[in-house]
Amino acid sequence: MHPFKINRTLDHIFNHCIELMYQGQSIEDCVKLYDSKRIQLLPLLKAAQITIATAQSVKPRKDIKKITKLRLLSTIKQIKPVSNIGEQLTESLYLPIKLRAFVKSIFVNKKLDEIVNHCIGLMNQGQSIEDCLKLYESSKADLAPLLEYVAISMNAARSVDPREPAKQASKTRFLAAVNKTGRPSRFSVVFSRNLFRPIALPMTALVFLSVLILGSGSIAAVYSDNAIPGDNNYWIKRARENITLAITHSDTEIAQTHAKLASTRGEEMLKLIKQGRVAAAEGHLDSVFKHLSASAQHSGVSLTFNTVDAPPTKISIQTDEALGLLRVTLQQGSEVLSVDKVPLSIEHTINGSNRVDRIRYEFELAFRILLWSIDNAEQSDPFWINQSSFSR
Amino acid sequence: MYREQKLTKDQIDRYVVLAQKGESSAFEALYDHFYDQIFRYIVFKTSDSSTAEDLTEDVFLRMLESIKKFKPQGHPFSSWLFRIAHNRVIDHYRKQGRDRNVPLDTILSTVGDSQTTLDNYVETKLAMREVNQAMAQLTELQREVLNLRFAGGLSIKETAETVKRNENSVKALQHSAVKKLRVLLQPNQLFSEKLA
């Protein structure tokens, strides 16, 4: 079953004997059954017998309770030095149902949990059960069965490996995201150096002034960033987007830009929904689909249900980094209107909550279809056969 | 034998500081070190390897987003990362809105490359099934502690930080969980269950 071989007989024998003793058998009856273990078994069973007999003789009277407690404590101390079990003892005496478990438990060293923990730590570091048992020879009988099941569980938990291609693809996307967002600011590096501190203030002022002068021409553009359909300056925003698309040449960048614009449309739709303009948001979905279709086209992905005329295509984006960036953009875009991630209060959706939900699901689904198609572009199975993938 | 000996605690701390400054190689090192551990932790919770792959990736993207907010000050980075993983799994279940009892077939199909021989493969599959069934009978906290210790390979201190309990409490939970597992996994127990 597993690579660890241990001796657990004494533990099992002890348990068996306790059971026999409860059924009226004597210690000698049991020892005869396991003669080879007589030396180890006899003292344990005698101690158990004393404890069982004492416990069963006690009646629930306060004076007896105290005397029994003292008697038991002294008995147990003679067998094995165990401290601080007085309360446990007296409580257990009056709970016959727990008696059997209690009798067994008092033979377990109180520090066993510490030992088990130490052994799990060692096993985590690559040591075997035997290595640990050597350290705790005296607790071997109690420890070995526990560690055996630790090993079984640990083996089971560690036997699952991630698929290497998935791991590598995930790493690529992660590193693309790191390069996009985790890059240190050059300004912060420059200003953090003591050498540049004396000139930091004048430089800041200079940069600030430059930004002010250069940026004054595009104040309207910046102002239009938050515009939504119906605003006076919304056309400025769309015009800027068109200019950006016009001056972008590589397919990779165009695909990325369209993906971002689809996400921007989603942000606008969210604002429209919050204003109660559900129909306007609904109409905006078409723009989202157009942007995502364009993104798919420039990525080289063919979105179609016609498997004969348009078999699955290979993605045309060449570098992993670019593909990772596109994927991250689409992933983030899919969450802009996500029902689960963007809560809307009742007043925002009271006018047609079903319609709002449908808009949000369609929006998210469009992103997820493209994401899924990109991830599976090179697979032989067309995406519509694996419908279950959408429900992940 | 078990835990991948890759980065020491000091090395992890240094990489975390570098990652907070935006050093991509530090992110890569942390990714390489923690990926398998996080994956196993999640796959043991979700019983579905493809979901676990997605969620593991998401955990690292969330780490990227919020690593600047991480303040070491005595708190292990691993605990912080596993906390993200824990929350991500909860989000996932909330989103799914369904029962956690997922068929084991998917997880069993992901027994890794380390199980080379057929005998080992079959034995591991059986062991996993039994362990999963037994684990389901532990308390939520016991299961979490064992998962972090066995699948995640965390230390007691790291586990304690992750589950927001003190170390003694985690030790006690671990001990009681192992004892319960022992009872649940005993051959006669399994046999009688199978007969039933």
| The pLDDT of residue A382 is above 50 | no
Low-confidence winner among A184-193, B24-33, B111-120 (lowest mean pLDDT): A184-193
- Structural domain boundaries enclosing A117: 111-160
Rg (CA), chain B: 18
DSSP annotation of A276 reads T
A137 shares its domain with A62: no
A376 shares its domain with A276: yes
Residues B30-75 pLDDT 10s = 999 999 889 888 888 887 777 888 889 889 988 988 888 888 777 8
- Higher pLDDT: A289 or A53? It is A289
Contact call for A174 and B31, based on CB within 8 A? yes
- Chain A nearest-CA distance from B150, in A, is 5
Contact call for B149 and A124, based on CB within 8 A? yes
Interface of A with B in 332-361 (CB under 8 A): 340
How many interchain CB pairs under 8 A, A with B? 170
A249 shares its domain with A356: yes
Helix axes B77-96, B24-46, angle to 10 degrees: 50
What value does the mean pLDDT take over residues B135-145? Answer: 87
| The pLDDT of residue B160 is above 60 | yes
Residue with tokens 């150096």: A193
Amino acid letter, residue B150: F
- Chain B nearest-CA distance from A358, in A, is 17
- Going by pLDDT thresholds of 50, 70 and 90, the confidence category of residue B80 is very high
A103 shares its domain with A125: no
Contact call for B39 and A181, based on CB within 8 A? no
Q: Angle at the Cα of A166 (from A382 to A328), degrees rounded to 5? A: 80
Angstrom CA distances, A110 to A95, A113, A138, A289, stand at 21, 7, 13, 67
Return the pLDDT at A391: 36
Q: How far apart are CA B42 and CA B50, in angstroms?
A: 10
Return the pLDDT at A286: 84
Contact call for B61 and A328, based on CB within 8 A? yes
A299 shares its domain with A384: yes
Q: What phi and psi, each to the nearest 5 degrees, are found at residue A25?
A: -75, 155
Q: What is the 3-state secondary structure (H, E, C) of B113-152?
A: CCCCCHHHHHHHHHHHHHHHHHHCCCCHHHHHHHHHHHHC
Percent of chain A with pLDDT over 90: 3
A253 shares its domain with A359: yes
Q: Is A183 part of a structural domain of the chain?
A: no
Chain B residue closest to A117 (CA)? Answer: B171
Of A117, A150, A175, the CB nearest to B156: A117
3-state secondary structure of B159: helix
What value does the mean pLDDT take over residues A59-72? Answer: 54
Return the pLDDT at A93: 47
Low-confidence winner among A41-50, A156-165, A267-276, A379-388 (lowest mean pLDDT): A379-388
Angstrom CA distances, A207 to A202, A211, A215, stand at 9, 6, 12
Q: Is A220 part of a structural domain of the chain?
A: no
Structural domain count, chain A: 3
Enumerate the residues of chain A whose CB falls inside 8 A of the CB of residue B159: none
Q: How far apart are CA A333 and CA A92, in angstroms?
A: 62
A95 shares its domain with A31: yes
A92 shares its domain with A122: no
Mutation to test the B interface, candidates A105, A150, A158, most B Cβ within 10 Å: A158
Contact call for A116 and B35, based on CB within 8 A? no
A277 shares its domain with A362: yes
Q: How far apart are CA B156 and CA B171, in angstroms?
A: 7
A245 shares its domain with A379: yes
- Higher pLDDT: B31 or A68? It is B31
Q: CB–CB of A28/A41 below 8 Å? A: no
Q: How far apart are CA B182 and CA B167, in angstroms?
A: 22
Angstrom CA distances, A92 to A6, A14, A86, stand at 32, 20, 10
State chain B's mean pLDDT as an integer: 76
- Chain B nearest-CA distance from A258, in A, is 22
Residues A299-322 pLDDT 10s = 777 665 454 554 455 566 667 777
Q: How far apart are CA B117 and CA B95, in angstroms?
A: 39
Of A127, A170, A182, the CB nearest to B56: A170
Does A117 contact chain B (CB < 8 Å)? Answer: yes
A233 shares its domain with A357: yes
3-state secondary structure of B111: strand
- Chain A nearest-CA distance from B165, in A, is 16
Of A146, A159, A167, the CB nearest to B111: A159
Chain A residue closest to B113 (CA)? Answer: A161
A77 shares its domain with A135: no
Mark which of A88, A107, A126 sits at the end of a domain. A107
Q: Where are the alpha helices (DSSP H) in chain B?
A: 9-20, 24-46, 49-66, 77-96, 105-108, 118-135, 140-146, 156-163, 167-185, 187-195
Residue with tokens 């493209």: A370
